[in-house]
Structure 1
């Protein structure tokens, strides 16, 4: 069987009050990989964190810049992320201080998943559901 799924080209983005702190948390708690971080001091102009199974997120420091066309409020992000071992990831995330919203559970659509908040108040759901096969 051949997998004809293209490489991920949708990159969810978020802003953070403490972007460098959030990067450390996302790496330590969830296992994101720090791929690129640009900025000086505590400011992050752009960061790319890659997810080991593919894709990733981009983030930067919250800015109060007049005319900013990419204004996102910290703590308003939510994502579902595929993982092969949600129970181990749940243990890792809670040990790192993630706030539990839903403990690991099995769903009626065949996924095992959990939900947490990060220190910036963003919502993260992790599970084994990979979505339905693409048509065509």
Structure 2
């Protein structure tokens, strides 16, 4: 019996913009969308991987956070250094072109890395770093 990744959470301060990035630019299907306005939890994932999801959630809502901690989270998000996710694809060039065409913030064009992968990187609308590796 193994342990599987079910969900990972990424903060999303503009749910509509984040939804457009993950659904429209990356092609993920929406599995659940609860709440309203900026207080939404949106679950998305690859159509062919129903067991794995990304949950976009309102940032800094965890109970017990101080005002300073909340402020720090938003400052880190604004710098683009709060959260990261690494995805993979069989067609890195095609995926890069499709995402770039949506106007997404390009951090790195496809390149071979010293650590043995070819990848590219974007920032999603909340500033999260999204790296995409070539399979």
- Please indicate, yes or no, whether the TM-score normalized by the shorter chain is above 0.5: yes
Choose which of 81, 102, 106 in structure 1 pairs with 2:108. Answer: 102
Choose which of 34, 39, 42 in structure 2 pairs with 1:38. Answer: 34
Partner of 2:9: 13
Partner of 2:119: 113
- Shift in CA distance, 58/112, structure 1 to aligned 2, threshold 3 Å: same
How far apart in 2 are the matches of 1:56 and 1:89? 19
Over aligned residue pairs, what C-alpha RMSD do you find?
2.9
Partner of 1:84: 90
Partner of 1:61: 58
Aligned length in residues = 123
How far apart in 2 are the matches of 1:64 and 1:107? 36
Q: Tell me if structure 2 keeps the 8 A contact 1:35–1:48.
A: yes
Q: Tell me if structure 2 keeps the 8 A contact 1:15–1:73.
A: no
TM-superposed deviation, 1:34: 1.0
- Shift in CA distance, 66/109, structure 1 to aligned 2, threshold 3 Å: closer
- Shift in CA distance, 85/63, structure 1 to aligned 2, threshold 3 Å: same
After superposition, give the CA deviation of every residue in 1:54-102 in whole Å (9 maximum; x if it has no partner): 323112123557636xx79353210111111111110111111111111
As a proportion of its length, which structure holds more helix?
Answer: 2
Partner of 2:46: 51
- Shift in CA distance, 95/10, structure 1 to aligned 2, threshold 3 Å: same
- Which runs of no fewer than 5 residues in structure 1 stay unpaired? 130-136
Three-state SS of the structure 1 residue aligned to 2:93 is helix
Q: Tell me if structure 2 keeps the 8 A contact 1:53–1:82.
A: no
State the TM-score, normalizing by the size of structure 1: 0.73
